[in-house]
Copies of this chain bind each other. A is one copy, B any other.
Amino acid sequence: MCCAPIARQPLGGDETAELAVLLKAVADPVRLRLLSMIGSHAGGEACVCDLTGAFDLTAPTISHHLKVLRTAGLIGSERCGTWVYYWIIPDQVARLGALFTPLAVPAVTG
């Protein structure tokens, strides 16, 4: 599956189950915004301390959402002294984009 065509050919149960895990990870306002903030951060890396301030949520909650994104393979993290930095993993994110692109153009009568 190089481009994950949601259309053109019906997806099987296994594929959708795997992709749904990925989609569930981003199907939350906080996580979507976190992903956006990390992805748009200068240098490609963002510290947790930069992210926490943007929400009216407690630190453990932000940490929880970051863990979900990391478990899904969408972001990576590394501790650098006192602070922890996060970055986007482009390949996994690209799968999401490629999923719906073929559906944007209507199926030309099969």
Contact = CB atoms under 8 A, between A and B. Distances in A.
A40 B10 contact: yes
A100 B104 contact: no
A48 interface: no
Contacts of A54: 10
A25 to B, nearest CB: 8
Given A23-B23, A23-B26, A44-B106, A32 B6 contact: yes
Interface of A: 6-13, 16-17, 19-20, 23-24, 26-30, 32-33, 35-37, 39-44, 54, 88, 90-91, 93-94, 96-107, 109-110
16 contacts: A6-B39, A7-B88, A8-B39, A12-B33, A20-B29, A24-B27, A40-B110, A41-B107, A42-B109, A43-B110, A44-B106, A44-B109, A93-B100, A94-B100, A94-B101, A94-B103
